[in-house]
Each structure stands twice: as C-alpha cells, then as structure tokens.
Amino acid sequence: MKAKTDHSASPGDELLRALSALANPHRLRIVAALAGGRNYVSGLAREIGISRPLLHMHLQRLEAARLVSGNLELSEDGKAMKYFEVTSFALALTPETVAEAARTLSAEPPGGQRGREQQQ
C-alpha cells in the first residue's frame, strides 16, 4: 500500500512501470488523445468512449508511470476540472537498452540479485 508515485525507483523499475502502463489499448488511446491536446477527465471519457470511473483508473496508472500528469483547475464558471496532459517521455527499446535496464530490476521477492546456485 505504498509508492503509487514512487519517486525513488531504479531505472529498471521505472521502465517496467512505463511498459506496464502502456501495455493496454485504452491507455494507448488515452495517451494518443492527450498528445493531441490536454483535456479534463469527463471530456476525455466522452472523447474516447469509456466510462469515467474506468478512465479514472487508467489515468492513475499512467500518472503513476509519469507518462501523463494532471492538475486541478477552476473553470470560469467555478467548476473544478482536472486537466491531464502527456509528459514528453521518450523511451528507446532495443535489446541493449532492455539489458541495461534489467540489471537494476528490484522485483523477485525471494532470492534477490545475488546467489543463484542451481539445485538439482
């Protein structure tokens, strides 16, 4: 129950989070829509045709991966609206960059990075 927006993660973990965030058709469309200009969640939900609660969940995932960012604003008529926009991310994925990132992955609970003697 911590680190939803973990600011202290290894490059490997950050890459993994970004990849997990992008590995979904809805979220790809969300990023695509926001690449065309910022929008608030209700408007965005209508634009891409999914429910607000669902969009809310996907936006959280994208924001946790730092691929989008949102901030609450007050419209002229006083309505609170949360506008989201894409961050200017740039990920280069090749066998080499993946290999480099994989070296700093923290996952895998039991065992850790060191000590991997095969048994039987």
Partner DNA sequence: TTCATATGTAATGATATTCTTACATGAGAA
Partner DNA sequence: TTCTCATGTAAGAATATCATTACATATGAA
Q: Interface residues with DNA (CB under 7 A)? A: 20, 23-24, 26, 40-43, 50-54, 56-58, 61, 70, 72, 77-82
Residue (37 or 78) nearer to a copy of itself, CB: 37
Q: Minimum distance between the CB of residue 96 and DNA, rounded to whole angstroms?
A: 23
**Residue type, position 8, single letter:** S
Burial grade of 71 (CB within 10 A; 0-12, 13-18, 19 or more): exposed
Q: Minimum distance between the CB of residue 80 and DNA, rounded to whole angstroms?
A: 5
Q: Nearest 10 degrees: CA dihedral of 108, 54, 73, 68?
A: 40
| Residue 32 contact among DNA, a copy of itself, none, beta carbon within 5 to 8 Å by kind | a copy of itself
| Residue 1 contact among a copy of itself, DNA, none, beta carbon within 5 to 8 Å by kind | none
